[in-house]
């Protein structure tokens, strides 16, 4: 199955996206992770290439580049917060004339999905939070030394290859297609704009507003809870998103949302959808199928 690349305009920004799968059906929106301009991987919709053929077997799939990554304009740099990025996703759905989606978000994309589930639940038919280290409660976490010895220059092929290996169970998925696309994403104007925006000390310290948003999310979860069916997909060997964190978040969401599931994928690190694409996709597709069937019943 091939993905088709296209561009749309949402809230004045050029948005680059991949589409695959049948024309009809409840669509899936894939939201990649990474912090534009900061993360040592130039992420984007290309990260999903191994899972898309499976996810798109039963329903239309759309994978977007977030602002400041891949082919999507950064626009006003203040977009680089979880709040603004979640509003941006709503603008993308409006531009695509899509009422609601099964949102699958990885890393920061999962956290953006979690925020959307509290602010715009009607737009999400279901939510999959995938290997998302910033989503669970963290307490006083240790300083992050994971990428301290990153090879320079940042975002070169060698550097990104090292980062992918650092967070993967196996290097097998780190192929020419991935590195080529990641280097290409790093060479684009959106990435350059995001890097420039993140040179600002205040912008860096804000860290995408993750902590500020978390407070709002816990308040919402302890209040009415999530009304969106939610699954958490974590990996056995993820050096960033520990399984305990995913299971704790599952228990917090599960207090108020009956359709909550927790999944653990074996022999995977931070990229379960690349490292074990079939196991990942069947777990995610079955949740979406089950939720659609429950709603129809």
Partner 1 sequence: MIVSSVKLSTAKGKKLPAPKQIDVQGINTRYYEAGAGEPIVFIYGGNFGSSDSASSAQVWSLNFLPLSERFKVIAFDKIGQGFTDNPVRNEDYTMASVVRHAAAFIEAMKLPPVHLVGHSRGGYACTRLALEYPHLVRSLTIVSSGTLSPRVSTNEVALSNSPYPAYSRESARWIYEGYSFDPKVVTEEWIDNVMEVLNLPKYRVGVQKMVDEGAGGRYFTPELATQKRETLGWIREGRLQRPTQIVWGQNDPTVIPEGCFDVFDLIAAHNRRTTLNIFNEAGHFSYREHPERFNALLAHFVQNAGV
| Sites of contact with partner 1 (CB under 8 A) | 1, 53-54, 57-59, 236, 243, 247, 250-251, 253-254, 257-267, 276, 278-279, 281-283, 285-287, 289-291, 293-294, 296-297
| C-alpha distances out from residue 200 to 80, 187, 205, 207, Å | 12, 20, 9, 11
Cβ proximity to partner 1: between 68 and 246 the closer is 246
Tokens standing for 16? Answer: 């680059």
Cβ proximity to partner 1: between 241 and 281 the closer is 281
Minimal distance in Å, beta carbon 284 to partner 1? 9
Cβ proximity to partner 1: between 100 and 286 the closer is 286
Cβ proximity to partner 1: between 91 and 264 the closer is 264
| C-alpha distances out from residue 126 to 65, 166, 218, 219, 293, Å | 20, 31, 19, 20, 12
Tokens standing for 6? Answer: 């296209």
Distance CA 58, CA 28 (A): 10
**Strands (E) located in the chain:** 4-10, 13-20, 28-31, 61-64, 101-106, 124-130, 230-235, 260-265
Minimal distance in Å, beta carbon 33 to partner 1? 21
Minimal distance in Å, beta carbon 194 to partner 1? 35
Contact 115, 86 (CB under 8 A): yes
Distance CA 91, CA 100 (A): 12
Cβ proximity to partner 1: between 78 and 294 the closer is 294
Minimal distance in Å, beta carbon 268 to partner 1? 10
Minimal distance in Å, beta carbon 26 to partner 1? 11
């Amino acid at each position: 199955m091939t993905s088709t690349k296209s561009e749309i305009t949402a809230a004045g920004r050029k948005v680059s996206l991949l589409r695959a799968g049948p024309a009809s059906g409840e669509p899936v929106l894939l939201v990649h992770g990474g912090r534009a301009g900061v993360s040592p991987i130039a992420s984007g919709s290309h990260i999903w290439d191994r899972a898309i053929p499976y996810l798109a077997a039963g329903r239309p799939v759309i994978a977007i580049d977030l602002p400041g990554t891949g082919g999507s304009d950064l626009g006003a740099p203040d977009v680089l917060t979880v709040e603004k990025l979640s509003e941006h996703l709503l603008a993308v759905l409006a531009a695509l004339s899509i009422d609601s989606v099964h949102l699958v978000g990885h890393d920061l994309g999962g956290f953006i999905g979690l925020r959307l589930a509290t602010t715009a639940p009607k737009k999400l038919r279901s939510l999959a939070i995938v290997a998302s280290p910033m989503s669970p409660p963290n307490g006083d976490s240790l300083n992050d030394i994971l990428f301290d010895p990153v090879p320079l220059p940042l975002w070169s092929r060698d550097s990104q290859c090292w980062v992918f290996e650092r967070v993967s169970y196996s290097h097998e998925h780190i192929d020419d297609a991935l590195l080529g696309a990641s280097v290409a994403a790093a060479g684009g104007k959106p990435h350059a704009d995001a890097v420039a925006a993140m040179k600002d000390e205040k912008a860096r310290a804000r860290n995408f507003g993750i902590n500020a948003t978390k407070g709002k999310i816990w308040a919402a979860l302890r209040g009415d809870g999530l009304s969106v069916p939610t699954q958490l997909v974590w990996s056995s060997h993820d050096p960033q998103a520990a399984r305990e964190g995913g299971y704790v978040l599952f228990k917090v969401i599960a207090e108020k949302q009956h359709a909550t599931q927790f999944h653990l994928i074996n022999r995977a690190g931070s990229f379960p959808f690349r490292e074990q694409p079939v196991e990942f996709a069947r777990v995610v597709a079955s949740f979406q199928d089950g939720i659609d069937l429950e709603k129809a019943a």
